[in-house]
Amino acid sequence: MNVVKPFVVFALIACGAFNAQAAEIGLAEMVERDVSGKIGTTTTKLNVGDSVQQNQTILTAASSSALLRFLDNTNLSIGPTSSVVLDRFVFDKNPSAKNVIIELTKGGFRFVTGKQDPRNYEIRTPVATIGVRGTTIGFFVEPGRTSVLLKEGGVTVCTRSTNSCVTTNRAEDMIVITAAGISQPRPRGATEPDFKDWCSDRGASCNLR
């Protein structure tokens, strides 16, 4: 009889857990200047064509940006001095609800849905939870404040503190969430930039697809 020693079993389990955490979910399609990926305590420079992984944090430096393309052809553009956690990603032909969770920690972002049902995406910030419904959206995440700019499609935005929600289908609507509450959708103000202008003001081109 073959006996598998306990430390071998532990090693196999640990290896499996590591592989699950390191599942590739897409790639870096564009990288401008200084962009890095962090898993655990390991941080590496991110280059064009590099894979991005579940549970990875993507960070951009000043005047830097990145465009990530996920397995379902969803695109996430990341502006300068920004941080996002690719928390959970499951893509199959018959997905259950909320199979993708992305945590936008700080900075500016542009999200464009791909082949997967957009309702499977949940986007979180420190103060808001955003439900996607076939959409292009801009996000601007500051301490205690998130601004959501709908460019195309529809979006539902909820506060994380009270779960108060608002929905809009009107392009160029802005919704602002703070610890104090959530605004009603309103047209973007003349002095409020969209994502590309926001990037340009910070020294990055943020090339979009």
| Number of residues that this document lists for the chain | 209
Q: pLDDT of 53-102, one tens digit each?
A: 999 999 999 999 999 999 889 999 999 999 999 998 776 555 454 588 99
Tell me if 155 sits within 8 A of 133, measured CB to CB. Answer: yes
- pTM, entire model: 0.85
CA distance readout (Å), 176 to 45, 115, 141, 149 = 33, 28, 10, 9
Mean pLDDT of 14-42: 78
Q: Which amino acid is at 54?
A: Q
Query: Cα separation of 145 and 182, whole Å?
Result: 10
For the chain, list the domains and their CATH numbers. 25-201 (2.60.120.1440)
Mean pLDDT of 7-33: 63
Token pair of 157 as six digits: 């935005």
Nearest to 175 by CA among 114, 130, 124: 130
Token pair of 177 as six digits: 């969430």
Q: Which residue has the tokens 């655990």?
A: 40
Phi/psi for 182 (5° steps) reads -130, 140
Q: pLDDT of 103-160, one tens digit each?
A: 999 999 999 998 888 888 899 999 999 998 878 999 999 999 999 999 999 999 999 9
pLDDT at 18 over 80: no
Q: What is the pLDDT of residue 90?
A: 74
Query: Cα separation of 150 and 130, whole Å?
Result: 11
Would the CA dihedral through 113, 116, 122, 123 be positive or negative? negative
Q: What is the pLDDT of residue 208?
A: 66
